[in-house]
A and B are shown apart, each in its own frame.
Chain A
């Protein structure tokens, strides 16, 4: 069985190489049959990797402990769903997942474009399959998921398996890695199209139009993966933290930042023909940061609580990155004449300028996070000492950057292209500024003045909310005046007419809500107490009474459950029942916290176990104000992104002057 799996991977590797060579040779020699056969090879790669993945999943589920991977990541007592998710629980399996997702994306891209972009597609195929080849080299020759355990001389000894770390046995962890992979891997596609358009000296817009939806969907997957990680950390790790600026967390954030910058600066290229070189740089940076991110996670080059097993895999990644970067940089520099800008910056007070500042601070944030993450490596290279920086470094830089971004989020949509007059600025921003400052004044009076950052954050959130609402109001009122429908149907119609714009506003509102959630952390409260059964203590406005401790046991774990009665101001609010578990096969203790989630605040109780004299319970209780707004914000962001993907009722056309370059035969008008 495992031989078929290993053979499938090896064959996939051969077909992937053929796809690269066939595409390039077919394009250069103008042999259409070679090109088509290369595209068909892409489908073969997908079929072969699906077989390999299926075999691995099968081995995981039936518990074939002869395989090293199965033994290391499952055990006989695990629920079946976690046996399935062990596919991506370890190094080899997750590389196979990556390769399979890339082959799926590639097959879809090739199929959807089988009659389009005939001049660009061979290069797109070549780039996709080159990346695929790299990952297949890893799982064919270096880290095979199908390697068999050997003990003694040729005897295969079966074990019961080591199981999945119980910290990872959660539904959020079931989908967090696949979501991130769908994001990471997905950015290969717009990059491949960008390279294809560079190589074929296209003027620039076709690849952006084609890949706009891909990039947005990929960005949504990446956002989902990151937020799932935060939600998991919050609910599982026991102290209500959701982000630690850990290197692996940062690795997922870096391409997200450049992709966000890209999604915005791309609008500049569509509407004004500006930033063409910059967009090439951004999409390349996003792709290479994805590869770099997976390198960081897997190579152990920076120590992290998340890291997989250490291995020599790092050298392969560095080689791939070096070759890829060199080729991309050469290509961009060589094609510079075809990427000339069609317009100039006319005023600092303009939408172009606000997009540029948006890009500037997003990239500054990306650079700072990258710098902080790699600081131990850099400092060791420069000074010989390995120095790391921690959360204060990242927060110090990113909080002001976040404020700047919030401000631009409010300003950007309302400021005019080319240049804005003082009068238009006053009209657009008077009420939002007043609203923001008024909220800050009110909150300050209520005691928030002790937290100046929180004050500024809430003020900016109000500013942005007012601008978004005013946009919806203006548009919906106009539609209502003409057609007589109610305000809500008018707003729906408004959104449908221009889904990109109004979907984008929804995404911005999602970010505002997330900001509100993050700002709430300034007001967190926590209390740690050892309580005997029947005793009470207080945290914030709540009284917690430790009523009872119950012990249970099953095959997977032994557990002690604390029954905590909650009340506020004398009124009972029910019970919360946190558990302290001990997982048998991995000998690992975990805490299952109990959370009472409300819009204004969460009450969070962690049962840390019995006290050292075994007579009392150690209980940690926290109040986390506004934290649920993070998750609400994510849902709004996701819905807004989906709205963006719906085709608009009205297709806007921009008449623009097109730079006619050497390779162009005619100027095209934007559709």
Chain B
């Protein structure tokens, strides 16, 4: 057999195996990005598919009970008090919560919606709220140090 044909066959085989691994890996770990409102519209699907929801931690809602943490997130940072798009989340994982996870932080929860409407998170990521700037903005009161 021609050298280039042999070489080409090996290349195709290698890529084939990797592609098969990629598809398997995708199916095993894919999760859908949803906003809270989209999640509530998903109905039964939300309990079957793995979903990632992000939102802002409602101040004062974090409750720690042993290794279990529950909190509430809401969707819109500008309507904190009146926002009715909220979601209760419970996390029981062994990994410690990120240090940036606190009131008003932006949190990303990965998991499934439980039948009782509470979101069961298998993973939590958080971003420090004070680093989030929607766009360069005029400071309302820059003497308010360290939000």
| A interface residues with partner B (beta carbon < 8 Å) | 65, 68, 71, 75, 143, 147, 149-151, 157-163, 165, 167, 237-239, 303, 305, 307-312, 345-348, 353, 356-357, 360-361, 364, 368, 371, 375-376, 385-397, 400-401, 404, 526, 528, 530, 584-591, 606, 608, 611-612, 620
How many angstroms between the C-alpha atoms of A357 and B9 in the bound complex? 12
Nearest neighbor of A345 in chain B, beta-carbon distance: B3
Report B143 CB to chain A, min CB distance, Å: 5
CB distance from B25 to the nearest CB of A (A): 4
Question: Could you jot down 7 A-B contacts, CB within 8 Å?
Answer: A65-B142, A157-B143, A162-B146, A307-B127, A375-B26, A389-B25, A606-B96
8 Å CB interface, B98-147 against A: 98-100, 102, 108, 110, 125-128, 130-136, 138-147
**Contact residues in A for B28 (Cβ distance below 8 Å):** 392-393, 396
Asked if residues B139 and A368 are in contact (CB atoms below 8 Å), the reply is: no
Interface size on B, residues (CB 8 A): 58
Cα separation A641 to B67 with both chains bound (whole Å): 46
Q: Are A586 and B146 in contact (CB-based, < 8 A)?
A: yes
B81 at interface, CB cutoff 8 A: no
Chain B residues within 8 Å of A65, by CB: 142
Residue of B nearest to A608 (CB): B96
Q: Are A530's CB and B100's CB within 8 A? A: no
**Of the candidates B7, B17, B141, B146, which one forms a contact with A584 in the assembled complex, judged by CB atoms under 8 Å apart?**
B146
Please give, as numbers and ranges, the residues of chain B lying within 8 Å of A393 by CB-CB distance: 22, 25-26, 28-30
Contact status B22-A397, CB under 8 Å = yes
Q: In the complex where A346-B3, A608-B96 touch, is A360 in contact with B14 (Cβ < 8 A)?
A: yes
Asked if B143 and A149 make an inter-chain contact with CB atoms under 8 angstroms apart, the answer reads no
Q: Which residues of A contact B54 (CB under 8 A)?
A: 303
Most buried by B among A387, A391, A400: A387
B95 A75 Cβ-Cβ under 8 A: no
Nearest B residue to A92, CB-CB: B136
Q: Smallest distance from the beta carbon of B1 to chain A beta carbons, Å? A: 9
Hey, which bits of chain B sit against chain A, CB under 8 A?
A: 3-4, 6-7, 10-11, 14-15, 17-18, 21-22, 24-26, 28-34, 52, 54, 64-67, 94-96, 98-100, 102, 108, 110, 125-128, 130-136, 138-147
Q: Is the CB of B29 within 8 A of A391?
A: yes
**Contacting residue for A368 out of B11, B18, B64, B65, CB 8 A:** B18
Contact status of A397 and B18, CB under 8 A, knowing A157-B139, A157-B143: yes
A157 touches B142 (CB 8 A): yes
B136 touches A143 (CB 8 A): yes
CB distance from A314 to the nearest CB of B (A): 13
How far is A608 from B147 in the complex, measured between Cα atoms in Å? Answer: 23
- Asked if A364 and B14 sit within 8 Å, CB to CB, the answer is yes
Please name the residue on chain B nearest to A238 by beta carbon.
B96
For B4, B22, B34, B126, the residue with the greatest tally of chain A CB atoms inside 10 Å of its CB is B22
Determine the chain A residues whose CB is within 8 A of the CB of B142 once the complex forms. 65, 71, 149, 151, 157-159
Asked if A612 and B22 make an inter-chain contact with CB atoms under 8 angstroms apart, the answer reads no
Chain A residues contacting B31 (CB-CB under 8 Å) are 387-388, 390
Assembly CA distance A394 to B64 (angstroms): 32
Asked whether, in the complex, the Cβ of A530 is within 8 Å of the Cβ of B66, the reply is yes
Using A530-B66, A587-B102, A588-B100 as known contacts, list a sample of 11 further A-B pairs with CB atoms less than 8 Å apart, ordered by residue number in A. A151-B142, A239-B95, A307-B127, A387-B30, A392-B25, A396-B24, A584-B146, A586-B146, A589-B99, A591-B99, A611-B66
Q: Closest approach, in angstroms, between the C-beta of A73 and any C-beta of chain B?
A: 10
Selected contact of B6 from candidates A157, A348, A388, CB within 8 Å? A348
B4: shortest Cβ distance to chain A, in Å? 6
The answer for the CA separation of A72 and B3 in the assembled complex, in Å, is 61
Question: Is A345 within 8 A of B99, CB to CB?
Answer: no
Cβ A388 vs Cβ B136 within 8 A: no
Give complex CA distance A75, B147 in Å. Answer: 12
Q: Is the CB of A310 within 8 A of B133?
A: yes
Verify B141–A75 contact, CB threshold 8 A. Answer: no
Contact B102 A388 (CB under 8 A): no
Determine which of A238, A388, A612 lies in contact with B65 in the assembled complex, contact meaning CB atoms within 8 Å: A612
B138 to chain A: which residues have CB within 8 Å? 150-151
Chain B hits for A591, CB < 8 A = 96, 99
A612-B64 in contact given A348-B3, A368-B22, A386-B33 (Cβ < 8 Å)? yes
